[in-house]
Amino acid sequence: MSTPQLVEHFFRHEYGRLVATLCRRVGAQHIEVVEDAVQSALMAALESWTVSGAPDNPSAWLFRVAHNDVVGHLRQRTRRRRLLEQYTKEAIDTGEKGSELFLAQEVQDDLLRMLFVCCDEGIPEPSQLVLALKTLCGFDIREIALRLFISEANVYKRLARARSQLRKFPPRTDGPSEAQITSRLPAVRKILYLLFTEGYLSSHAETAIRRELCNEAIRLTSILAEHPLGQTPETFALLALMHLHAARMPARQDGAGGLVLLEEQDRDLWDREEIQVGLALLARSAHGDVFSRYHAEAGIAAEHCLAPSLQETRWDKVVEFYSLLERSAPSPMHKLNRAVAVAEWKGPAAGLEVLDGFEPPTWLVRSYIWSAVLADLHRRCGNAELANRYRKLACKAAPTSAVKQLLQHRLQINKQTIPRYG
């Protein structure tokens, strides 16, 4: 007897699928009962499959076990209240009829529906993100804390807020309406974007962990992009930018886990296939008259992917996209990035000019990024004293040793370029 191999992330993805499907059947207000049942079903699978082998259809097995558990719980609860709640009864009835039947499309629909449930207007954004990681990606509280750099208590608090909102859900089982889906699309895209950037920009030492978040974001965004209601130019632009960034991930870290400057990255390591997928999506996003921040960011990422070297990058195009980005999503960070691109295009003095008279908010002043850019631009302009001052500030504010090393390396080497995280 041998125990069969299961696909990568089987347990985590089954968790997301089961929570989504069961929440649709019994209503998201029962999410706690659902999550407990799914957890138990997975545990039962682990114990039973390792002893007697996995069943022919592991997903159906899991569904049956989790479903029976949920139904049992809800029945008990209903009995206890001596109130036969119509919705529970209905859910149980329909559930039993179709417990074996689910099609791939239905699963995709369920996951998408759950994503929209997570982005309910009544749930604060930080809680939306945590709820999505918990329910759709199957991470537990400890794993989420590790990935978002927050305490477990904080994760728990955010999750509790989300759940208390879900409990207020009307006793209906069919989830958000089409109109709600359309109006919630921007919020859903924002959460997917956050999920991706948490993985992409974080300076977490472990590449695998960061890559995992990016992959999850791509997986969920792909589901959105395949769904008739989610197929908008902005969704395609978002997915394009994820693929274009993911393409460069293999070159962003050296063997020791340190970050590698864009100019020093081995461009042969960039994933050509990912770039092609990204560019095809970018082409699909160029419809209609909406130009979103995702379009601008995907455009910037595409310019980097297409440039044969840092020097041959079309910096004028990059600057143009940053200007568009500032317009569609004003942020001091985008201005700073534009200054960096202008410095590449027209020289460091022109870069500093962009920041002339600009009063950055405190959070930016305190971050290493602000000091690092100024240190570099001043160094290249020959303002040694200012450059030195900003370099010290940048190193002091560096959040991790990987970043600190990168800064020390970048701000001392005598090259006519600027620090960029590829």
| Window 25 to 84, contacts with another protein (CB under 8 A) | 39, 42-43, 46-47, 49-52
Min separation Cβ 71 and another protein, Å: 22
Cα angle, residue 203 at apex, residues 200 and 209 outer, rounded to 5°: 65
For CA atoms 202, 206, 209, 210, the dihedral sign is positive
Q: Which one, 58 or 126, has the nearer CB to another protein?
A: 58
Residue 10 touches another protein, criterion: CB under 8 A: yes
Given 27, 95, 138, 176, the residue binding another protein (CB under 8 A): 138
Residue 153 touches another protein, criterion: CB under 8 A: no
Neighbours of 111 (CB within 10 A): 23
Residue 11 touches another protein, criterion: CB under 8 A: yes
Cβ neighbours of residue 378 closer than 8 Å, sequence gap 6 or more = 348, 352, 384, 386, 387, 390
Residue 14 touches another protein, criterion: CB under 8 A: yes
Residue 274 touches another protein, criterion: CB under 8 A: no
Min separation Cβ 331 and another protein, Å: 34
Q: Quick check: 415 and 263 in contact, CB under 8 A?
A: yes
Task: Specify the 3-state DSSP secondary structure of 293.
Answer: helix
Residue 413 touches another protein, criterion: CB under 8 A: no
Residue 131 touches another protein, criterion: CB under 8 A: no
Distances (CA, A) of 280 to 225, 250, 308, 315: 13, 21, 19, 22
Q: Which one, 140 or 226, has the nearer CB to another protein?
A: 140
Of 135-143, 190-198, 320-328, 401-409, the segment contacting another protein by CB under 8 A is 135-143
Which has the closest alpha carbon to 197: 21, 395, 315, 333?
A: 333
Q: Which one, 42 or 373, has the nearer CB to another protein?
A: 42
Of 3-11, 95-103, 227-235, 383-391, the segment contacting another protein by CB under 8 A is 3-11
For CA atoms 275, 280, 285, 287, the dihedral sign is positive
Given 81, 142, 287, 392, the residue binding another protein (CB under 8 A): 142
Q: Which one, 70 or 403, has the nearer CB to another protein?
A: 70
Q: Which one, 133 or 319, has the nearer CB to another protein?
A: 133
Q: Which one, 39 or 180, has the nearer CB to another protein?
A: 39
The backbone torsions φ and ψ at residue 253, rounded to the nearest 5 degrees and listed phi first, read -130, 140
End-to-end CA distance of the chain: 49
Given 68, 77, 140, 353, the residue binding another protein (CB under 8 A): 140
Radius of gyration from C-alpha coordinates of the chain = 24
Of 2-10, 70-78, 166-174, 195-203, the segment contacting another protein by CB under 8 A is 2-10
Of 9-17, 154-162, 236-244, 278-286, the segment contacting another protein by CB under 8 A is 9-17
Residue 143 touches another protein, criterion: CB under 8 A: yes
Residue 207 touches another protein, criterion: CB under 8 A: no
Cα(357)–Cα(361) distance, integer angstroms: 13
Cα(404)–Cα(395) distance, integer angstroms: 6
Cα(303)–Cα(321) distance, integer angstroms: 10
Q: Which one, 47 or 125, has the nearer CB to another protein?
A: 47
Cβ neighbours of residue 204 closer than 8 Å, sequence gap 6 or more = 147, 149, 210
Residue 358 touches another protein, criterion: CB under 8 A: no
Residue 9 touches another protein, criterion: CB under 8 A: yes
Rounded to the nearest 10°, the torsion over CA 140, 113, 75, 54 is -60
Cα angle, residue 99 at apex, residues 94 and 101 outer, rounded to 5°: 105
Q: Which one, 142 or 392, has the nearer CB to another protein?
A: 142
Please work out the total of residues on this chain that contact another protein, with binding judged by CB under 8 A: 25
Task: Specify the 3-state DSSP secondary structure of 421.
Answer: strand
Min separation Cβ 98 and another protein, Å: 25
Given 12, 163, 184, 410, the residue binding another protein (CB under 8 A): 12
Cα(52)–Cα(226) distance, integer angstroms: 38
Q: Which residues bind another protein (CB under 8 A)?
A: 1-3, 5-6, 9-12, 14-15, 39, 42-43, 46-47, 49-52, 138-140, 142-143
